[in-house]
A and B are shown apart, each in its own frame.
Chain A
């Protein structure tokens, strides 16, 4: 089969040469660096942005734009934000309120100068899913969130070593009560099945042996503690290695398995590029090679993905279902808006994406699983309520004032604005006229326009 030389939205992945897909994209006459590509980067590498930010970003090269979403360009602004966030977190920990902690993270997603860090932290939260309903401790959930953020872009091994000693994780998967007489297999199983290798890449015997490695890993005064009396010191055989004794050695051995990079890279691919289709191993091999040669650096893989030809060709546009959080955040970002974030956190939970409350240890399934009758109604109702909520401010003002300031003087101009910032595929003439036909052009309200946009199927795709 001959591979296609160019990549367009409709090209089947089977016809795309993997080497070509993952080489660096560069602008050309056919594929200019335009606002649709910038908007795509802002959505996938963050939580979207208003037209101003899209326009301003056109002056940056793609890799520069991605870097800026990752690393602060202005250290003063960054420090100011971090100081504010730290102060806020202290008062929240003192309050012991889970809804406030959720709001704290949503605030970071809304205001952080480095939104890609928050996005990838969200990825790891779904990957190393830990539920506050079982942990029952706001401080430990916050601590885990810090751990995930600190290692978010680093080397995968360091992340796994840290999360394996994370108090919230130890509580969530019963590691904290794992003793040598009768090992508890919960963490050992999920470490291989869900965190590192994928189902089918280990045996039941490996699970039992690995559980022995983690015996004696406990929590004391909210901190990790190794209890040698409860640890099984004998040799274990894990994945063919007969020379393993400690949990740390076991982790180091697990992350060097061939199945690990394939497993993690595939998940990153789906998170950043598309929910469907499911490509084969060959297609992702260049990313796997990048991951391996960089000593499993997450940052290397993400940079490679977000600056690749496959990504910036626009092939991936409309190939991801927005999560509830992405839907709300991208709408807010697009209109420079803020709202009551505690309420929003609660609504997101009802729509299936409660931060700190993943559905189970496998995290959020994503893709089509976000969409069903209830969530579609719930999403439309969320936009309806957010638009009308008195706590929702658009650029610190009301919706009509914001529209006026942005030179949006007719319903059509607001629809076009949202089409350019929020919609994956630009709205076509038919959709546009259908929306506008629902708005009474004589006595329209801006809220009504938003409300109708909230019912369009295409809004749920990014």
Chain B
């Protein structure tokens, strides 16, 4: 299972050069800029799928033969007869059946036991930690992807480096003051009804043209008005670009009629229409299964697996499969022992899933050890920042040192 087909031509070369450093020198930055602003054919794309609420990793990738698992989950354990076997001890939740084809084609990999030191069991804190790479409560309000954009993209006139598809607020992971990232509820509603030119030239004060000098100092981007003005400009640019890209080229593929299915359909359309965007971000909420978990969880996993499978199918059909990688994560797993409501409370480490290009291994990290728990929760063996670092350096070929502080080794995901 260790061969991998030819891929990552460009990013592989760059990661070779960046070994040992991870420092964002000017040279690295220019290479990075080339990666993120290069031609659409050689540019890598990352699609982040966030499972909000804390996905029960233990009932997703299941140690179904483990006695301790059955004891801790008298009502919620998935029986051996139902799981999709992955190896001799682990099986996948039956709702992941649609991912079969990705597994068989070695286009899927599972990193087990991903988390971080001193796990925080608040949804919001833990999500912020995953988004910013920092457990410090006085962390800056900038996300790991936003910082990657700022370091590598600059303010060139290409498409936005990232796009968030969804009606929830922009995920913190994409936030960075100098790089506005558009958030798109749905492509169909992403059109100005009033004549667009009406808003042109109305960015004042803050982004008014040079021919119209003003007495007052322009507000800085950190000023609220400056923020609203630059966001308006970004909205105008993005809606124009998307309209024209989809106008020329309108590939569309069948997707499940579910919230996540429709979001990933939109992502696929934008990618296949040739948008120059490097990162797409979508979320699927509802994983906070404190009660009546069995049916709810199965439904959510099915929604995810069907949408993800349809997405990669569309990308493969569109001939883009080697440049599109999807990362699926959740802010934490759930407590090993179930509660009285046939649900589970907040836990700690859980698997992270990558899909799209070829991966030599289906499973990495360590299977959950239920005899050595941390206050009832699974201990982490892979820090999530190692996953990020690997994606930044191996996938995008950008240095991660300015974004991830600390010693988090890269993972051998791709070779």
Contacts and interface: CB of A to CB of B under 8 A. Distances in A.
B190 interface: yes
Contacts of A369: 169-170
Nearest to B184: A374
B189 A189 contact: no
Contacts of A319: 224
A256 interface: no
A195 to B, nearest CB: 13
Interface in A429-462: 430-431, 434-435, 438, 451-452, 454-458, 460-461
Interface in A354-380: 359-362, 365, 368-378, 380
Contacts of A359: 168-169
Contacts of A183: 339-340
Contacts of A378: 185, 189
- Can you list the 7 inter-chain pairs with the closest CB atoms, starting with the nearest? A372-B183, A373-B182, A182-B340, A373-B235, A369-B169, A455-B199, A177-B341
B373 interface: no
Given A185-B290, A194-B124, A373-B234, 14 more contacts: A174-B341, A182-B340, A184-B343, A186-B290, A199-B120, A276-B224, A372-B183, A381-B189, A384-B193, A385-B193, A438-B202, A451-B198, A455-B194, A457-B232
21 contacts: A184-B343, A189-B122, A189-B346, A199-B125, A275-B224, A276-B224, A318-B224, A321-B224, A352-B169, A362-B124, A372-B169, A373-B231, A380-B192, A381-B193, A384-B193, A430-B205, A430-B214, A434-B202, A455-B194, A457-B225, A457-B229
Interface of A: 173-174, 177-186, 189, 193-194, 199-200, 204, 207, 275-276, 318-319, 321, 350, 352, 359-362, 365, 368-378, 380-381, 384-385, 428, 430-431, 434-435, 438, 451-452, 454-458, 460-461
A174 B288 CA distance: 11
Contacts of B322: none
B167 A377 contact: no
B106 to A, nearest CB: 36
Interface of B: 52, 120-125, 137, 164, 167-170, 182-186, 189-194, 197-199, 201-206, 208, 212, 214, 224-225, 227-229, 231-232, 234-235, 238-239, 285, 288, 290-291, 337-341, 343, 345-346, 375
A399 B182 CA distance: 34
Nearest to A352: B167
Query: DSSP class of B's interface residues: helix, strand, loop or mixed?
Result: loop
B169 A365 contact: yes
Contacts of A460: 228
A430 B206 CA distance: 12
A208 to B, nearest CB: 9
B198 A455 contact: yes
A376 B345 contact: no
B201 A374 contact: no
A182 B206 contact: no
A184 B291 contact: yes
A178 B340 contact: yes
B167 A457 contact: no
Contacts of B231: 371-373, 376, 457
Given A184-B290, A275-B224, A365-B169, A430 B194 contact: no
A368 B184 contact: no
A378 B231 CA distance: 13
A183 B122 CA distance: 17
A48 to B, nearest CB: 19
A456 B229 CA distance: 8
A182 B338 contact: yes
Contacts of B224: 275-276, 318-319, 321, 368, 461
Nearest to B237: A373
B339 A185 contact: yes
B238 A373 contact: yes
A174 B185 contact: no
A150 B128 CA distance: 34
Contacts of B164: 372
Contacts of A184: 290-291, 339-341, 343, 345
A372 B340 contact: no
A374 B228 contact: no
A225 to B, nearest CB: 17
B185 A380 contact: no
A384 B204 contact: no
A186 B184 CA distance: 31
A222 B96 CA distance: 37
Contacts of A179: 340-341
Most buried by A among B122, B168, B205, B338: B122
A181 B206 CA distance: 60
A178 B288 CA distance: 15
Nearest to A447: B194
A333 B70 CA distance: 60
A352 B340 contact: no
Contact of A185 (B197, B203, B345): B345
Contact of B189 (A275, A377, A428): A377
Given A373-B239, A377-B191, A384-B194, A435 B202 contact: yes
A451 B202 CA distance: 13
B183 A181 contact: no
B194 A372 contact: no
Contacts of B199: 380, 455-456
B86 to A, nearest CB: 29
B340 A199 contact: no
Contacts of A370: 169
B143 to A, nearest CB: 13
Contact of A200 (B137, B184, B204, B341): B137
A174 B169 contact: no
Contacts of A381: 189, 191-194
Nearest to A186: B290
A372 B182 contact: yes
Contacts of A456: 199, 202
A350 B167 contact: yes
Contacts of B201: 434
B246 to A, nearest CB: 15
A133 to B, nearest CB: 9
A182 B337 contact: yes
A282 B407 CA distance: 37
A430 B212 contact: yes
Given A186-B345, A189-B121, A372-B169, A380 B194 contact: yes
Nearest to B289: A174
Contacts of A178: 340-341
A457 B226 CA distance: 9
Nearest to B231: A371
Contacts of B228: 321, 371, 376, 457-458, 460-461
B167 A182 contact: no
Nearest to A181: B340
B222 to A, nearest CB: 8
Contacts of A376: 228, 231-232, 235
B283 to A, nearest CB: 10
Contacts of B123: 360-362
A184 B125 CA distance: 20
Nearest to A188: B345
A350 B201 CA distance: 27
Contact of B192 (A182, A377, A458, A461): A377
Contact of A374 (B124, B185, B204, B291): B185
Most buried by B among A178, A180, A377: A377
